[in-house]
Every structure is written in C-alpha cells, then in structure tokens.
Amino acid sequence: MIVGVIDEGILATHEDLQGQIWVNPFEPVDGIDNDGNGFVDDNLGWDFYNNDRTTYDDVGDNHGTHVAGTIGAKGNNGIGVAGVSWGVKMIPIKFLQNSGSTANAIKSFDYLTDLKTRHGLNIVASNNSWGGGGFSQTLKDAITRCEQANILTVCAAGNNGRNTDTQPFYPSCYDNVSIISVASITNTGARSSFSNYGAVTVDIGAPGSGIWSTVPGTGNTSAYASYNGTSMASPHMTGVLALLAATEPGLNGLRLKDRLLRRGTPTTTLAGITMTGNRANGFIR
Ligand SMILES: [Ca+2]
Ligand SMILES: [Ca+2]
Ligand SMILES: [Ca+2]
Ligand SMILES: [Ca+2]
C-alpha cells in the first residue's frame, strides 16, 4: 500500500519513520532521470516548493513529519508512536514550506497520477492536510486526474470552525467524488471546536485534538510533539484507508471510499454536521 503525503517534507531518517518512506525503485541516484518523469533522482519523492530532490529541508518540515507519523509510524518497535497503518509506504511530495502555491499543488497531484499510471504502483490515496485557497478549476482538474487513476484524495476539512456547506474550504469542498473530507474530533468524540463541518461537504470525523506524533528535533534528531488540527484528523483517515486497502486488495477508488465511510462508527456529535455521521474506525473485521 502506497500513499502520497502532499505537505511539507518528511524527516525520513526519523527513528520511527525509517522503512516507512517509499523509495522510488525506478530512480537510482545517478544524476539521470531514469524513469523519465521529468525529475532527476526523485528517489524519495519530489520537492515542488524548491524544485529539488530533497524532500526534507532543515527549515521546520515538522507538519509533514507529524502527519506522516500518524499515517504510518512504525509500530511494535518499542519506540515513539504507532501510526495507524504500519505496512504503508509514504511518498513525500513537498509543496509547502510555511506557504505553498496552487500551481505546485497541481504538480503534486500530477506527480502522483503519473507515478501510478506509468509504473502501476499500488497508490491508493494522497493525504492533504492543507487548504485555504479559493476555488481553482485547474486544481480540481488535477484531483480529477488522480480520481481517474483510482487515487483517493483525503483532505483536512479545515480549522475555521465553520459550516463549509455555506462557506467552502478548498480542496476539501471540491465536489470530486474521490475526495474524503475529514473533520476533527476530541478524545471524547466531540467535534473539536476549531473543526469545520458540513452535512454535504464533510464526510467523516477522526481524532485531531492533542495528537502525539513524530517531528524533527534540534539538529534533525528524532522527536515527538502534540499538535491540534484537522491536519491531524486527515492522516488518521488515510491510515485507515491504507489498512482497509491492505485487507481488501480487490477494492479501490470509489468502492474503497464507499466501504471506508460505511464502516465508520456512528457518532452522535457528528450526526447532521457530516455526511455520514460517523467517525473513522480502523477495526478490521
Ligand atoms: Ca525521475
Ligand atoms: Ca536517477
Ligand atoms: Ca528541498
Ligand atoms: Ca513506534
């Protein structure tokens, strides 16, 4: 199972992420674009922000590293945390470094679509713990190209505490059927006060308050921190999606999404303010 993490970079050498980061098998580091995708030596994904091959930069790529830990930090190794899916491989696709552009977000989605269509990799989804720009037809079109390649787009619902049915937040509110928009809940199951919601535009809830995960420490050491946000809820959902895809390899794309949403746990605090009224459930039957 492979998922794309479209975010900041990821500290791939973190003690609890080693082995969890995808390595491009078609791209030896030799100064040549061996796989012909236009990116030289993209063995660990690509950095669209700086347009270079280093998908971790020592400038505070902590958000991306934190998100990655929630999806797939190594479990059962006696250290740190355990991600939702221990068997997943994550492709670092960096387009954020404090800020990011829609143009580079589009390139990020297309990078993933190209990897899957070119090599037939089992890329099931991308995680998108970001948003906030206005409506962009070209970004929506890039998500549609992912959709056509059976790559689901998991999105943070946003942290404005508002109903996005009336005040949209993007990309979570594009009407692509492949988007899964995730609200944040607390450890009691209540909606986190910051979390956006919407009976039409938000699909499901997942934990996003007080989430302990991997971050770069001083000198790029392995550290851990607690963050809040729908940015932390979305990767829980992406992790559950990877688990489900692993146990039911015949399911992909929209069938996977449908199964994923329906197997959530009904949650009264999410009823009427999300499409399903469910919270994510990683229990494999
Ligand atoms: Ca390449
Ligand atoms: Ca190369
Ligand atoms: Ca870089
Ligand atoms: Ca661990």
| pLDDT digit string, tens, across residues 136-153 | 999 999 999 999 999 999
Q: Where are the domains of the chain?
A: 2-279
CA of 233 to the centre of ligand 1 (A): 31
CA of 79 to the centre of ligand 3 (A): 28
Distance (Å) of CA 202 to CA 72, 117, 197:
24, 29, 6
Tell me: pLDDT of 9 over 90: yes
User: Choosing from 85, 172, 195, 231, which is the catalytic residue?
Assistant: 231
Ligand of minimum distance to the alpha carbon of 72: 4
pLDDT of residue 45: 98
CA of 33 to the centre of ligand 3 (A): 17
Q: If you write DSSP's letter for every residue of 230-243 in order, what string do you get?
A: HHHHHHHHHHHHHH
Owner of token pair 């109903």 = 163
Q: Which phi and psi (to 5°) does residue 61 adopt?
A: -80, 55
Edge to edge, the sheet with strand 265-266 lists 46-47, 89-94, 2-7, 123-128, 152-156, 179-185, 204-207, 278-279, 265-266
Could you please state the CATH topology (level 3) that the domain comprising 2-279 is classified under. Rossmann fold (3.40.50)
Average pLDDT of the segment spanning 18-43: 97
231 is catalytic: yes
Q: How many CB atoms lie within 10 A of CB 277?
A: 18
> Can you tell me the distance from the alpha carbon of 200 to that of 215, in angstroms, rounded to the nearest whole number?
34
Side-chain-facing half-sphere of 282: CA atoms under 13 Å = 18
| Nearest residue to 20 via CA among 231, 184, 238 | 238
pLDDT of residue 250: 87
Tell me: pLDDT of 235 over 80: yes
Cβ-Cβ contacts under 8 Å for 188 (sequence gap 6 or more): none
Average pLDDT of the segment spanning 150-177: 98
236 is catalytic: no
136 is catalytic: no
Tell me: pLDDT of 284 over 70: no
Tell me: pLDDT of 154 over 70: yes
Ligand of minimum distance to the alpha carbon of 59: 3
User: Choosing from 7, 35, 41, 61, which is the catalytic residue?
Assistant: 7
Q: Find the range with the poorest average confidence among 220-224, 236-240, 281-285.
A: 281-285
> 9 with 56: CB under 8 angstroms?
yes
Tell me: pLDDT of 59 over 90: no
CA of 59 to the centre of ligand 1 (A): 25
Ligand of minimum distance to the alpha carbon of 38: 1
pLDDT of residue 285: 58
| Nearest residue to 146 via CA among 190, 193, 113 | 113
Q: How many CB atoms lie within 10 A of CB 148?
A: 12
Q: Which phi and psi (to 5°) does residue 26 adopt?
A: -100, 5
Packed helices 102-119 and 137-148: angle between N→C axes, nearest 10 degrees: 20
> 201 with 165: CB under 8 angstroms?
yes
What does the DSSP 8-state code read for residue 118? Answer: H
| pLDDT digit string, tens, across residues 244-266 | 999 988 888 999 999 999 999 99
pLDDT of residue 252: 85
